[in-house]
């Protein structure tokens, strides 16, 4: 199929009044935001995968529904939605805020901050190869029956993005470019949350990682299963790690990550705790035999997706391997693949030597796909250009929470800084009430008797590099 051209879509930039209030008598800054989309749509629908990713154990696990096949226009719309902060209530958080491309679409924090600074309940899971999770369910506890269902849940979550679907539809309709994108994708400019879900799901399913060192070595390796013979393109250490990974009598890692997508067909209890603190799938279904079971993510790019597990408890791959070496707990629902001597046996204890543990790390590092981490198909399509002579404005760089507040207010600055900053508190009439100075990335202030009402906080970075204002409500 010949890729569609975007035409008019590339010819405009839209001006936004920045969410920055400069104080009494000072006008807000403005900047232009544009979409840097290609003249011919990127290929999402027919990515040419290597032969080993076309094997039945991968292709039969594809959870794409018949009614939402990937199209180039649909995934393009999904890409724009994925990176757009308009999908959160205060326009500070996008899907990409917790799923960063350079980290294989996960987060490097154990728990990710939401639109008002609250933290998510679980670690952000990598989205790479989400298409090949066979049972098609999503979230760590698999509470979403499909990816289409999952995409709208963070948008509505009161911690993550906090927007209603009605607000979402209205906000997207009030732009120049979304009606055009929806028409390209679905044949009509009408914007609905259902179409948002379809487009986001198409974009996420298009995230296939297939150009790692493992993939290149696999294509030049001798015929046969990957765990049998050493591969010429691997080092001695990497081949040892590969052998341990696939050996059912030693590592047995392939029992849960055995397809070429390195992903299991369903959830597992991997013995993190003797008694599950987080019930996982069992907390959703109410089935006591499913307590402690969690979705199994792909291991592709796993060297970049720390911290690990649903709660981010392990900071590095070495800790993960140590857990599987001798740390698996005898949970009643421990998955059979992690038991010794049968489905009711005790936890496996392979007791890897230091050299074996390092070899497993070396093998897992071959699954890193540098091209995937920088491919423009999955990169941020937005660009910004200042159109005023004042300092650059970005509301994404600092968070004030809780807001509304009753007593203490916290500020977090999400950019490197070691210099002193100034913070000013104004009332609704623009009268300066208080001045603060602080250095670093965090600061807290007390209400100290201020009456209920609307206020404004103005932050000036060290050296006047940026000036930003946020409303603050005391209840």
Among the ranges 17-31, 112-126, 138-152, which has the highest mean pLDDT value? 138-152
pLDDT at 454 over 90: no
- For domain 213-368, which CATH number applies: 1.10.3720.10, 2.40.170.20, 1.10.760.10, 1.10.150.20? 1.10.760.10
pTM of the model: 0.77
CATH architecture of 7-209+373-383: Orthogonal Bundle (1.10)
Output 418 or 349, whichever has higher pLDDT: 349
DSSP 28: P
For 365-381, what is each residue's pLDDT tens digit? 999 999 999 999 999 99
CATH architecture of 395-474: Sandwich (2.60)
Low-confidence winner among 179-193, 300-314, 414-428 (lowest mean pLDDT): 414-428
Distance CA 240, CA 360 (A): 8
pLDDT at 421 over 70: yes
pLDDT at 204 over 60: yes
Q: What is the pLDDT of residue 416?
A: 56
Q: Which whole number is the average pLDDT over 278-289?
A: 96
Cα angle for residues 51, 56, 57 (degrees, 5° grid): 100
Strand partners, 132: none
**Of 333, 351, 254, residue with least CA distance to 293:** 333
Is beta strand 432-439 parallel, antiparallel or unpaired with respect to 420-427? antiparallel
Q: What is the percent of the chain with per-residue pLDDT over 70, rounded to a whole number?
A: 87
Asked if the domains at 7-209+373-383 and 213-368 fall in one CATH topology, the answer is yes
pLDDT at 239 over 90: yes
What are the residue boundaries of the structural domains of the chain, listed by start? 7-209+373-383, 213-368, 395-474
CB neighbours of 207 closer than 8 A, spacing ≥ 6? 105, 127, 128, 129, 130, 131, 372, 378
Q: What is the pLDDT of residue 4?
A: 56
Angle between helices 178-186 and 193-205 (to 10 degrees): 70
For 307-352, what is each residue's pLDDT tens digit? 999 999 999 999 999 999 999 999 999 999 999 988 889 999 999 9
Q: Which whole number is the average pLDDT over 109-129?
A: 94
Q: What is the pLDDT of residue 399?
A: 76
Distance between start and end Cα atoms, the chain: 58
DSSP 464: G
Upstream peptide bond of 404 is cis (omega within 30 degrees of 0): yes
Distance CA 3, CA 233 (A): 36
Distance CA 68, CA 65 (A): 6
Distance CA 390, CA 316 (A): 43
**Of 90, 83, 96, residue with least CA distance to 118:** 90
Structure tokens at 380: 């941020």
Q: Count H helices, E strands: the chain?
A: 13, 10
Q: What is the pLDDT of residue 58?
A: 95
**Of 295, 335, 309, 336, residue with least CA distance to 135:** 295
């Amino acid at each position: 199929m010949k890729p569609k051209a975007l035409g008019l879509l590339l010819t405009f930039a839209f001006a936004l009044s920045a969410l920055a209030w400069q104080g009494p008598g000072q006008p807000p800054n403005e900047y232009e935001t544009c979409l840097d989309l290609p003249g011919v749509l990127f290929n999402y629908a027919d990515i040419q995968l290597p032969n080993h990713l076309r094997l039945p154990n991968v292709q039969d696990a594809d959870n794409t529904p018949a009614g939402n096949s990937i199209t180039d226009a649909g995934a393009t719309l999904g890409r724009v939605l994925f990176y757009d902060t308009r999908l959160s209530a205060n326009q500070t958080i996008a899907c990409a805020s917790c799923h960063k491309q350079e980290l294989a679409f996960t987060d490097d924090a154990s728990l990710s901050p939401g639109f008002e600074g609250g933290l998510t309940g679980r670690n952000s899971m990598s989205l790479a190869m989400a298409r090949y999770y066979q049972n098609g369910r999503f979230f760590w506890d698999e509470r979403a029956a499909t990816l289409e269902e999952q995409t709208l849940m963070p948008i509505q979550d009161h911690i993550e993005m906090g927007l209603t679907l009605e607000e979402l539809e209205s906000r997207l309709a009030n732009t120049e470019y979304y009606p055009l994108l929806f028409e390209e994708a679905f044949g009509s400019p009408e914007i609905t949350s259902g179409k948002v879900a379809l487009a986001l799901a198409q974009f996420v399913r298009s995230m296939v990682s297939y150009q790692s060192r493992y993939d290149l070595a696999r294509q030049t390796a001798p015929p046969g299963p990957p765990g049998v013979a050493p591969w010429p393109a691997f080092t001695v250490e990497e081949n040892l790690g590969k052998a341990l990974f696939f050996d059912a009598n030693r590592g047995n890692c392939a029992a849960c990550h055995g397809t070429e997508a390195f992903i299991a067909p369903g959830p597992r209890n991997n013995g993190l705790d003797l008694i599950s603190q987080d019930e996982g799938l069992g907390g959703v279904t109410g089935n006591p035999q499913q307590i402690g079971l969690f979705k199994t993510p792909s291991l592709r790019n796993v060297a970049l997706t720390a911290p690990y597990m649903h709660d981010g408890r392990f900071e590095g791959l070495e800790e993960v391997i140590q857990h599987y070496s001798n740390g698996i707990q005898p949970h009643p629902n421990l998955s059979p693949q992690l038991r010794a001597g049968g489905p009711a046996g005790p936890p496996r204890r392979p007791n890897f030597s230091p050299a074996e543990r390092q070899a497993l790390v070396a093998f897992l590092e071959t699954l890193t796909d540098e091209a995937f981490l920088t491919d423009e198909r999955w990169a941020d399509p937005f660009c910004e250009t200042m159109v005023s002579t004042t300092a650059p404005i970005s509301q994404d760089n600092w968070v004030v929470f809780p807001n509304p507040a009753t007593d203490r207010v916290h500020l977090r600055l999400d950019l490197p800084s070691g210099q002193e900053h100034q913070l000013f508190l104004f009332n609704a009439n623009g009268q300066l009430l208080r001045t603060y100075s602080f250095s670093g990335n965090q600061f807290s202030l007390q209400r100290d008797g201020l009456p209920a009402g609307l206020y404004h906080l103005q932050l000036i970075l060290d050296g006047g590099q940026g000036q930003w204002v946020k409303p603050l409500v005391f209840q």
